[in-house]
Amino acid sequence: MRIAIITGGSKGLGLSLCLQLRERGYRVIEFSRSAPHEFSVMVDLSSPEESRRAILSAIGGIESEPLEEIIVINNAGMLEPIGPTSRKDHPALIANMNTNFTSAILFVTEVVGQFQSIPCRKVIANISSGAALNGYAGWTLYCAAKAGLENFVRALAVEQKQETHPFIPVNINPGVIDTEMQALIRATSAADFPDVGHFVRRKEQGELAAPFAVAAAILRIVESPTLEFGARYNVADYSRG
């Protein structure tokens, strides 16, 4: 059996990943707050401990089944609240940090712990962003989480190289995708996000990639037999036509 475990697969890029993985014959387990699919598990990632328990409960016991491959994709993320953190409510800041960083690490940690000893091909793909490498006014929390997760993955890769049955952790930059997150960005005021005009022009000029096409490129990366531990991959290098 081949399994794929993914967060944030209710819509957009995550949904496209889930559908394409199922078409490839993977058993998909998707974690999200809305949990809209038959293969979904309801998880509120803004509550890390509750998320950890729900994830562990959902994947428990699978390790006893014959497994040929395990694909783990950390895709869930949120931008809100957009704007300087000093102007935002503390609960909203904490919910963002928990969703984008703390719960993401706990998700990966629980999966690794559950399947570390399984002798099959295992990949962890962290869906990152250009925000991991660049600072954007109004996106301080998002930039911080993306940068932190990329380095978490790089450090995890060093650890995994020492394991008898390692996971291969990688970071993947998907580029700019035509999703609800992009719509949220374009609807944000310049006071909270000074670069909003640039993103509006990207939409008007047709520069946003379709989620289905990006998902296909991500899976080409994940399924590559030459994946490098801790490497950062750009979807633009794996897109077709």
Domains and CATH numbers, the chain: 2-176+211-235 (3.40.50.720)
Distance separating alpha carbons of residues 124 and 131, to the nearest angstrom: 20
CB-CB neighbours of 216 under 10 Å: 17
Those residues with Cβ within 8 angstroms of residue 15's Cβ, 6 or more apart along the chain or in another chain: 9, 211
User: What pLDDT does residue 63 have?
Assistant: 85
**Tens-digit pLDDT profile for residues 18-65:** 999 999 999 999 999 999 999 999 999 999 999 999 999 999 999 888
Residue 53: CB atoms within 10 Å? 14
pLDDT at residue 189 in the model? 95
The pLDDT score that the predictor gives to residue 154 is 98
Specify burial of residue 235 (Cβ count, 10 A radius: 0-12, 13-18, 19+).
buried
Judge whether 149 and 186 are in contact, CB under 8 Å: no
How many Å apart are CA 226 and CA 70, to the nearest integer?
16
User: Tokens representing 36?
Assistant: 């809209």
pLDDT of residue 85: 97
- pLDDT at position 240: 75
Burial class (CB in 10 A: 0-12, 13-18, 19+), 198: exposed
Q: Which pLDDT value is given to residue 64?
A: 86
pLDDT of residue 178: 94
Please state whether the predicted TM-score (pTM) of the whole model is above 0.75. yes
The residue ranges of the chain whose pLDDT is under 70 are 241
Tell me what pLDDT residue 241 has: 52
pLDDT of 136 reads: 96
What is the C-alpha separation between 204 and 183, in angstroms, rounded?
12
Catalogue the active-site residues: 142
Quick one: the chain helix, strand, coil %, rounded to 5? Answer: 45, 15, 40
